[in-house]
Chain A
Amino acid sequence: MSRIITIAGKELRLLGRDRAGLLVLFLMPAILVVIITLVQTNVMQRSGLVKTRALFLDLDGQAVGSALYKLLNTENLHLVGGNKKEKTAFDLEKAVRNGKYQVGIVVPKGSTKILRRNIAHLFAKPAQKNEKTPLEKVRLKVFFDPGIMPGLRAGITARLQMAVQTLSFEAKFSALEEVLKKASAELNVPAEGSPLPAAGLRELLVRPVFSLSDNAATVPSKSGGYNPVQQNVIAWALFGIFFTAIPIAGTMIKERVSAISDRLATLPVTPLQLFAGKIAAYVAVCLCQFLLIALLGACLFPHLGLPAFTVTENPAGILLIVLLSSLAACCYGIFLGTACKSFEQASTIGATTVVATAAIGGVMVPVYAMPDIMQRISIISPMNWGLNAGQSLLMRGSSLAAISPDLYRLALFCLLMIVLSRLQQNR
């Protein structure tokens, strides 16, 4: 054990004196996670995977404007009140076209007045109606970001139509209630004799008779839910972790080229102890990488207008995933170091395989967004096992037992890499 600690200490000392290597290991994933998360947030806003920002310009300033604001400002639609920078429909259209908001809604001036006039007209006595004059409609204006996904656009349009219908029905039921009240009074109909209650008719008619259960409600409340930060922090931390395979391979090749490995082979230390020392050092580096990226997610992201990274549920589970992924990356590095003849070969093969497994594994594009064939292939990527397990804990609130198949895969991958490395050394 003391030999393993000595080897690990030596590896950490060598790495500490390699500034370029440290930059690649720590700065690269840190920069990537910030950039990709910001980029993906924009994409997710356009696709509706996060709360859509809508600019609401209420030029009416009366009942219709405020009622529409209340009806639309719900869970997935974040209404931003205009009237400050964007004072006209033209300003609003410009802001949406520039991608500042995904949707812009304008409630024109006088909307409440027009609605009231129309309702009054509908329930007026025939003698009072002027049928020749066409009714003026309340003309709401909606602007969509050109890059918005069609599904999100359809969803927002449907929500707007529903809000408008609700407003329209409520206004009609209120007017009907008034008409009925007046009629009952004029005809002296007792309240108990009327087929419809004169008072409270509006409340009765708008009372919901359907319920719609959302399956997402079954997700435990503590889990973070899907957002680009929860997705990217774990994804790019894994990417950085797997990149450590290249410096590990590099140290092994350097030792071989300079005959240090020959010297080590004649010392009373076994090849497995040498592997274990290297793995212990680089697993510590991987844990530091994860900590750095998690801290960036928790502390820096909120300042960039992103949600904070949270591990509220099962932090031990996340640690286990990071530990097993780090072991898998280090064992892969050991294999590369034994199989490749030169550092150039190891860095080319290492970088290509890490980027490819990241792409296949869903680090760059979530697996569900990939074509069917790629989704089937993604199962071969060790990064997919770590990512899948991490997302299950962070976003779906899964238990450790539920993610155990992915953990077993990572452990088996480690074992396979060590066996292949020993076979390669003995060749």
Chain B
Amino acid sequence: MNDIKFAVEARGLIKRYKNADHPALDSFTLKVSQGEFFGLLGPNGAGKTTALSILCGLLPPDDGTVYILGMAPEQQATKIKQILSVVPQEIALYNKLTARENLTFFGKMYGLRGDRLRARIKRCLEIAGLTDSADQPVSTCSGGIRRRLNLVAALLNEPAVLFLDEPTVGIDAQSRRLIHRQLQTINRQGTTILYTTHYLEEAGELCGRIGIIDNGRLIEEGRPDDLLSTSNSRTLDELFLHLTGTQLRDA
């Protein structure tokens, strides 16, 4: 039995896509403790999304093992799905449904019903500041509202582990600030968060620990301040470029 002090544990993950020159993940190993806010950073094509997809069970690894709160996805997938939530990078919502209808649908998929479901939806709409636009079709909402709704749809089951894949892409400072605050609150309430982002400043502000992934491997991890001091870097941007180089990755 695996040690349950880790909320997320990946051991030696290997993933190779067809016709790719290099593996997307190459012996990727990661440990995130319970209640931690962990940021996973990396340049484009470094393997962030592949790692996240394997960790949340969307993609099977070619090799290696994953544990979520000590449970292996291949053995206890249903249990893991009850306590884990994912916020995809894309707006994963039904455009023709209203915010409330989207939340009702996803809530019912978690098995929520009746007063419990209504209470959770009310809470999620409050978190996202969407009480007034709850009955508006998603297609007519602004980008910021959609992003916030995309986030709170993953909070319906009050997850123990929350994965977020660049949840603040393309939104204004106000919406980003609201999302940051809500994530910090959720984390303080005990939810483990694994967060991928390109905004290094954001990661430094939010995450207790960060990991930098490149070429499918975790090349550095630690508290942001510790990493800066040990590498003699002034900013996380400088540290990031120092570790991953200045060459364009998607050229």
A-to-B contact residues, CB < 8 Å: 2-3, 6, 10, 13-14, 17-18, 258-260, 262-269
Q: A3-B109, A6-B105 are in contact. Are A267 and B94 (CB under 8 A)?
A: no
Contacts of A264 in B (CB 8 A): 109
Contacts of B53 in A (CB 8 A): 262
Contacts of A18 in B (CB 8 A): 96
Assembled-state Cα–Cα distance A266/B82 (Å): 9
Nearest first, the 10 A-B pairs at minimum CB distance are A259-B90, A259-B88, A263-B92, A268-B81, A259-B92, A6-B108, A267-B109, A17-B96, A266-B86, A260-B92
A258–B108 contact, CB under 8 A?
no
29 contacts between A and B (CB under 8 A): A2-B108, A3-B108, A3-B109, A6-B109, A13-B97, A14-B96, A17-B96, A258-B90, A258-B93, A259-B88, A259-B89, A259-B91, A260-B93, A262-B58, A262-B88, A262-B92, A263-B86, A263-B106, A263-B154, A264-B109, A265-B58, A266-B56, A266-B57, A266-B58, A266-B84, A266-B85, A267-B106, A267-B109, A268-B78
* The residue from B90, B94, B108 contacting A14, defined by CB atoms under 8 A apart: B94
B109–A13 contact, CB under 8 A?
no
Interface flag for B110 (CB, 8 Å): yes
Secondary structure of the A contact surface, majority rule: helix
Contacts of B56 in A (CB 8 A): 266
Interface flag for B101 (CB, 8 Å): yes
Contacts of B93 in A (CB 8 A): 258, 260
Interface flag for B153 (CB, 8 Å): yes
Contacts of B113 in A (CB 8 A): 2
B86–A262 contact, CB under 8 A?
yes
Which of B57, B89, B106 has the most CB atoms of chain A within a 10 A radius of its CB?
Answer: B106
Which of A10, A17, A263, A265 has the most CB atoms of chain B within a 10 A radius of its CB?
Answer: A263
Interface flag for B111 (CB, 8 Å): yes
Contacts of A263 in B (CB 8 A): 86, 88, 92, 106, 153-154
Assembled-state Cα–Cα distance A260/B91 (Å): 8
Kindly provide the distance from the CB of B81 to the nearest chain A CB, expressed in whole angstroms. Answer: 4
B82–A268 contact, CB under 8 A?
yes
Assembled-state Cα–Cα distance A3/B110 (Å): 9
A267–B81 contact, CB under 8 A?
yes
* The residue from A14, A258, A267 contacting B91, defined by CB atoms under 8 A apart: A258
Q: Which residue of A lies closest to B111 (CB)?
A: A268
A258–B92 contact, CB under 8 A?
yes
Q: Which residue of A lies closest to B90 (CB)?
A: A259
Q: Which residue of B lies closest to A268 (CB)?
A: B81
Contacts of A265 in B (CB 8 A): 57-58
Assembled-state Cα–Cα distance A18/B96 (Å): 8
